[in-house]
Structure 1
């Protein structure tokens, strides 16, 4: 049995539909449905009456809803207790998107070190779905991520605070050979696109801000999808196509001329970098960390 199945089920209880619950968990509806099925198979009971519309819980599902939330709370409470016993030194755990852990955090660390604290800063990097999942489940003190109101509505809660800690841009780039863009200059033929999955954070943001406007101007031919911006960068550097990647991730390559930003009609997307915290600080070190950043 996996903890995320319990969290999925509580999301279904909260939202009352598979589609809305799946969206809140940053997974596709078929994947979400499979996870609910997996939970039911493990329990050996049916939690959802699939003959009813809208989504209706079975009597067993209603009874299990409270138990599932208790199990989630107990699991994280035990984890926190064990960490407190085994780690007497104060720690701050930051859950970060992969790209920011690579491109933003190393420079930002200099700011954090100026606090003069001996606190151990632990960074756990992952894709946005897993990072948000861990953060909202209480599996970390802070979430460092790119932010967008259009596709980030889960963070618009009264118990979540945020600080703006930086900016970035999602830029369309291509490898440069002999002073010319390898992709994106000749718009009379399809442009090879190395894309973010459509259900990912960057994928949805690009669809809303860029791709829809390019439909009548450029024929994009998607040749590879990858949720990791670092992987897309590597593919661009190998000359496999163009891609939108965070500007901070390719600063050196842009400065050297190895990569270049595509001109219009391709467009960039402004990005805000935020640090989030959920509820009250777990310890004095977390509060000092937050106050230092506010100052």
Structure 2
């Protein structure tokens, strides 16, 4: 028999055995959690590995703040995810009345099963990824939504010049991009960066490159520019804002809204975490929205939107390409050189 086929069959058999082992381990862990936490609780969906690693991070650090740093998430985003996990299970996992935060006693005794399940899932995912990528030349890019429609297409066009390379592009929010990179579900992430960026970056952990620089500019429906000017004169500014705990929300709060509050009242007419949704709302005349100029320029030049940068603060953003530094990264020399040589056309 062909030795290549024999090796492939052996790998497939190992994966089947590992998959069976994971299912059995997960079933046992699920049953014990259900019986000790809440008899009526049913885990109707398979728990994501990232969620299990989030729980483990809290156990090992003893606080949500330190766990968020370890998971490369903002603290509010991490707390939301822990709540989502608990809602998914149907019971609280942590005793928040104790400092440092602790697992509830009914869950604490299940730690060995939790760690075993995480280890098995990591091994299984690594083996699946190795099998899928065997003989393929593919990278996965996770990009913030706004960058997906601005910088990403031109970068992917440049990457397409590498013989046989296929690029899978995922559009996600900023925190999820970091999460995908840390769990090696993405090889490269494209995110916005500013001087207030507080995502921890240990020396030598990431490799990064500035792909482009743009500005977060205030825009409004062109026909309502005079109305906005009059409202500003009266001390009121209707805005389409980002959530306060989001990255762009923090940028606006510190660099735009904070200095503006000395002279005007910020009236939040609408709020969305999706940058791409602010553009149509601004075009509909909802209020003033802050957008990366790469998204707004076409409508400003066409006369549909007015750039209010002469009246209101704007701020600089960098579009960063970030990869893991470790040797396991699939970003080879030719791919990273292509990223570093990228320049906006």
- Classify the TM-score, shorter chain: 0.7 to 0.9
2:144 to 72, 75, 97: 97
- Cα contact 2:156–2:167 (8 A) shared by 1: no
Distance 1:101 1:66 in 2: 41
Structure 1: segments with no counterpart, 5+ residues: none
- Cα contact 1:182–1:239 (8 A) shared by 2: no
Tell me: CA distance 1:247–1:40, structure 2 relative to 1, closer, same or farther (3 Å).
Answer: same
TM (norm. structure 1) is: 0.84
Is 1:246 the equivalent of 2:295? no
1:73 CA drift (Å):
5.2
Match of 1:237 in 2: 283
Distance 1:31 1:191 in 2: 30
- Cα contact 1:92–1:120 (8 A) shared by 2: yes
1:39 CA drift (Å):
7.6
Distance 2:289 2:115 in 1: 41
Per-residue CA deviation, residues 64-88 of structure 1 (Å, 9 max, x unaligned), is: 6676566445434423432443453
Match of 2:39 in 1: none
Tell me: CA distance 1:49–1:218, structure 2 relative to 1, closer, same or farther (3 Å).
Answer: closer
Between the two proteins, the alignment pairs up a number of residues equal to 290
1:160 CA drift (Å):
1.5
Tell me: CA distance 1:29–1:286, structure 2 relative to 1, closer, same or farther (3 Å).
Answer: closer
Per-residue CA deviation, residues 154-196 of structure 1 (Å, 9 max, x unaligned), is: 3345322111111111111111018x45534531152221111
Distance 1:284 1:130 in 2: 20
Per-residue CA deviation, residues 39-94 of structure 1 (Å, 9 max, x unaligned), is: 8757xxx8644442232456776676676566445434423432443453210111
Is 1:160 the equivalent of 2:209? no
- Cα contact 2:145–2:274 (8 A) shared by 1: yes
- Cα contact 1:174–1:181 (8 A) shared by 2: no
Is 1:11 the equivalent of 2:54? no
Distance 2:238 2:205 in 1: 43
Mean Cα deviation higher: 148-157 or 87-96: 148-157
Distance 1:281 1:290 in 2: 13
SS class of match (1:140): coil
- Cα contact 1:198–1:204 (8 A) shared by 2: yes
Match of 2:251 in 1: 205
Distance 1:189 1:284 in 2: 53
How do 1:76-225 and structure 2 match up within 5 A?
Answer: 76-87=122-133, 88-114=135-161, 116-177=162-223, 180-184=225-229, 186-187=231-232, 188-225=234-271
SS class of match (2:338): helix
TM (norm. structure 2) is: 0.73
Match of 2:21 in 1: none
- Cα contact 2:55–2:82 (8 A) shared by 1: no
Distance 1:22 1:280 in 2: 21
Distance 2:208 2:119 in 1: 23
Distance 1:252 1:47 in 2: 49
1:11 CA drift (Å):
3.0
Distance 1:182 1:134 in 2: 44
Tell me: CA distance 1:149–1:155, structure 2 relative to 1, closer, same or farther (3 Å).
Answer: farther
1:2 to 47, 57, 64: 47
Per-residue CA deviation, residues 185-237 of structure 1 (Å, 9 max, x unaligned), is: 53115222111111111001111111100001222210111111110011001
1:100 CA drift (Å):
0.2
Mean Cα deviation higher: 259-268 or 225-234: 259-268
Q: Which has the larger radius of gyration?
A: 2
Distance 2:262 2:296 in 1: 29
